[in-house]
Amino acid sequence: MAKVTDVVGLYLDPPARAIVLSVDEKTQIQALDRTQPMLPLRPGQVERHTHDYKRHGTTSLFTALEVGPGVVTTDTRERDTGADFLAFMRLVAREYPRGEVHVILDNVSTHKTPDVQKWLAGHKRFTLHFTPTSASWMNQVETWFGILTRQAIRRGSFGSVRALVAAIERFTREWNAGASPFTWVKTADQILAKAVRKTQADPGAGH
């Protein structure tokens, strides 16, 4: 309950002059070289993909969505370890060199390593806010990942990881050039009421 209230409060009533970032990593994005990226459409058909492709490796995408303006800071890395997350946080600190920064993220262990804790101790202006377990949908950057996947990754054909990374970087530049914020509409009470209804409907939920 406290985590829901905390995260929703950052969306609906953020601290004055503070920067609120929604942070996560999209791991193991595959560079797929499709022989025919998009199959032709006929009237009434949905988009279809060929299943004939070659795999050319993967990349992990670290992203910080600034909740206010909707702009993103991204970094692609070979892995998604605690050290990679810490490297990304250092990049974020350079992008936002001043002011109070609140970071919304999930509870995976790479976000809580001793090195991350040590870094936070030396960067008091950064505060981490964790989403509830199994509630990654509360992290707004997940919406951006969905848009990226639909518009830049799923439709593409990539002969190498480098080509995939270039496509992600190109999409990011275009996004930031016309960025606008996502609108959060649910209050903490509405989310908690829905959770209560779900638990009552499924007595096994949460066990």
pLDDT at 3: 84
- Domain span at 182: 2-34+49-192
Give buried/exposed letters for 61-93 (b at 16+ CB in 10 A, else e).
Answer: bbbbbbbeebbbbbbbbeebebebbbebbeebe
In a domain, residue 150? The reply is yes
pLDDT at 137: 81
- What is the number of domains present in the chain? 1
DSSP letters spanning 155-179? T---SSHHHHHHHHHHHHHHHHHT-
Q: Which residues pair with 75 in a beta bridge?
A: 62
Is residue 207 over pLDDT 90? no
Is residue 128 over pLDDT 90? yes
pLDDT at 166: 95
Q: Helices (H), strands (E): how many in the chain?
A: 6, 5
**pLDDT band for position 170 (cuts 50, 70, 90):** very high
In a domain, residue 134? The reply is yes
pLDDT in tens, 38-72: 545 556 655 555 556 677 789 999 999 999 999 99
CB contact at 8 A, 77 and 60: yes
| Residue predicted with more confidence, 183 or 87 | 87
* Range in 5-19, 72-86, 184-198 with the lowest mean pLDDT: 184-198
Average pLDDT of the chain is 84
In a domain, residue 57? The reply is yes
CB contact at 8 A, 166 and 62: no
In a domain, residue 200? The reply is no
Q: Which residues pair with 102 in a beta bridge?
A: 20, 127
Q: What is the mean pLDDT of residues 72-81?
A: 95
Q: What is the mean pLDDT of residues 130-153?
A: 90
In a domain, residue 90? The reply is yes
In a domain, residue 202? The reply is no
Q: What is the CATH number of the domain that holds 157?
A: 3.30.420.10
Alpha helices (runs of H) in 77-140, residue ranges in sequence order = 82-95, 114-121
